[in-house]
Chain A
Amino acid sequence: MASINVGGKDIALDEEGYLENLNDWTPEVAEVLAKGEDVTLTSEHWEILNFLREYYEEYQIAPAVRVLTKAVGKRLGADKGNSKYLYSLFPYGPGKQACKYGGLPKPTGCV
């Protein structure tokens, strides 16, 4: 099974690179996961990651992209609540990629 080493601790990943155990997540884990895909997390990335983690905390699910886009627009403004902006941050798909770095499961309905 795949794993990453963060601060001397081995963290298990599933076959698609998501955390096996959601409690393993720390901001450093996010940085390492992003680096593995040649992404450097900026404050714009973190805004979305934090939003997703709060959404998960509240509703116990990772939202579908359509729902994420709408919710981001409501919370962070229309200039960010559109797929162009989200894809510019997370080109592999805002749902998939942001949930991965955020230590959340793959969004329900995401194939």
Chain B
Amino acid sequence: MSTKNFLFVNRKAPYGTVYALEALEVVLISAAFEQNVSLAFIDDGVYQITKGQNSKATGMKNFSPTFRALGDYDITKLYVSIESLAERGLTVDDLMELTYEDADDDYAEKPSIILVNREEMAAMMTEQEVILSF
């Protein structure tokens, strides 16, 4: 099977709809098929990777811990929109610490989150072969 660059664009808040959870499932499935998977978090999608989520009142499972497993799936590039964070009064300190172990660098732990502005986000998207938006 050929390997393609997949980008999953997450634009919605984690709870209230099933988009975020379903997107994460598809992400894990794509990675299990050894595709080159990256994620982008734009608009309310940035809330998906915030720290200290408590989903109790929504009746949905708090699936945010699963984002910490992405490194195990060799998903190492999570692009986060700087503008979307700023518009919501958030900074990178409000996000979970998501890391991966770099097999090419003696398994050193490295951050997966890459903050990008609009132009950088757009440029990154042109390098993708498959873009799926949730």
- How many whole Å from A61's CB to the nearest CB in chain B? 5
Which residues on B sit within 8 Å (CB–CB) of A67?
A: 32, 69, 72-73
Cα A109 to Cα B27 with chains together (Å): 9
Q: Is the CB of A108 within 8 A of B69?
A: no
Given A108-B28, A109-B28: A60 and B73 interface contact (C-beta under 8 Å) = no
- What 1/0 mask marks residues of chain A from 40 to 81 whose CB sits below 8 Å from any chain B CB? 000000000000000000111101101100110000000000
In the complex, how many residue pairs between chain A and chain B have their CB atoms under 8 Å apart? 37
- Check if B61 is an interface residue, CB within 8 A of chain A: yes
Contacts A63-B72, A64-B28 given; does A109 touch B33 at CB 8 Å: yes
**A59 is contacted by which of B31, B61, B65 (Cβ under 8 Å)?**
B65
Chain B residues, CB < 8 A from A66 = 32, 34
Are B32 and A59 closer than 8 Å at their CB atoms?
no
Q: List 16 A-B contacts (CB under 8 A).
A: A58-B65, A58-B68, A59-B66, A60-B61, A61-B66, A63-B69, A63-B72, A64-B28, A66-B32, A66-B34, A67-B32, A67-B69, A67-B72, A70-B72, A71-B72, A108-B25
Q: Which residues of A contact B (CB under 8 A)?
A: 58-61, 63-64, 66-67, 70-71, 108-109
- Is the CB–CB distance between A61 and B28 below 8 Å? yes
Within 8 A of A (CB), among B58-113: 61-63, 65-66, 68-69, 72-73
Check B18 for interface membership: any CB of A closer than 8 A: no
Interface of chain B, main secondary structure: helix
Give A58 to B69 CA distance when docked, in angstroms: 9
Q: Which of A60, A63, A71 contacts B63 (CB 8 A)?
A: A60
Asked if B131 CB lies within 8 Å of chain A CBs, one says no
Using CB atoms, name the residue of chain B closest to A71: B72
In the complex, the answer to whether A59 meets B29 with C-beta atoms within 8 Å is no
- Closest-by-CB residue of B relative to A65 is B32
List residues of chain A with CB within 8 A of the CB of B31: 64, 109
Nearest CB of chain B from residue A99's CB, rounded to whole Å: 14
* A108 to B: closest C-beta gap in Å: 5
Nearest CB of B to A27, in Å: 24
Q: In the complex, which residue of chain B has the Cβ closest to the Cβ of A58?
A: B65
Nearest residue (CB) in B for A110 is B32
Contacts of B29 in A (CB 8 A): 108-109
